[in-house]
């Protein structure tokens, strides 16, 4: 499929490569690269009429991480017992990558997303699946149209 898509120069091949790089950058903790990738995805894949809508941002981020489905079970609005994590990626069997817990914020800051993950103890729900967990806070500022990202390794 990938070779067929490349042969006809569909934009899908480029989008998959960008998604793959986004996942690599997230796992590497490259906050600046993740921020740039998410800003580009949000700009490219959201109607101007819905650009400031939090659900639109959540959908765009889910699509931006599409490549993760190769190695992860991807869940939106993952029930944690104390709320819902916006996006959780749990490694598939025999995949040695960290689980990812992503919390989206609007008009706050990325650190607020990390704080919510910790305060509501979202990692506890995911800890049974993997030893390593990354916490990812993403904020979108509706006034400046800027995104920020904070990535931390969860310390048990």
pLDDT of residue 111: 95
Q: Which residue has the tokens 């990325």?
A: 110
Residue 12: pLDDT band (50, 70, 90) is: low
CB atoms near residue 68 (< 10 Å): 22
Instruction: Compute the Cα dihedral for 117, 143, 149, 11 and give only its sign.
Output: positive
Enter the DSSP assignment of 154: P
**Bigger pLDDT: 107 or 63?**
107
pLDDT tens for residues 92-138? Answer: 988 999 999 999 998 999 999 999 999 998 998 887 776 799 999 99
pLDDT of residue 130: 65
What six digits make up the tokens of 120?
């509501």
Residue 24 has pLDDT above 80, yes or no: yes
């Amino acid at each position: 499929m990938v070779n067929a898509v490349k042969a006809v120069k569909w934009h899908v091949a480029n989008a998959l490569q960008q998604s793959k790089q986004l996942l690599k950058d997230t796992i590497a903790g490259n906050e600046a690269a993740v921020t740039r990738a998410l800003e580009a995805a949000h700009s490219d894949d959201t109607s101007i009429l819905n650009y400031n809508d939090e659900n639109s941002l959540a959908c765009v981020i889910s699509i931006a991480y599409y490549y993760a489905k190769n190695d992860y079970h991807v869940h939106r609005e993952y029930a944690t017992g104390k709320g819902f994590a916006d996006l959780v990626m749990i490694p598939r069997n025999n995949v040695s990558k960290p689980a990812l817990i992503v919390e989206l914020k609007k008009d706050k800051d990325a650190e607020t997303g990390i704080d919510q993950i910790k305060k509501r103890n979202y990692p506890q729900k995911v800890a049974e699946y993997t030893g390593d967990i990354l916490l990812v806070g993403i904020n979108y500022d509706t006034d400046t149209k800027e995104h920020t990202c904070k990535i931390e390794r969860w310390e048990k």
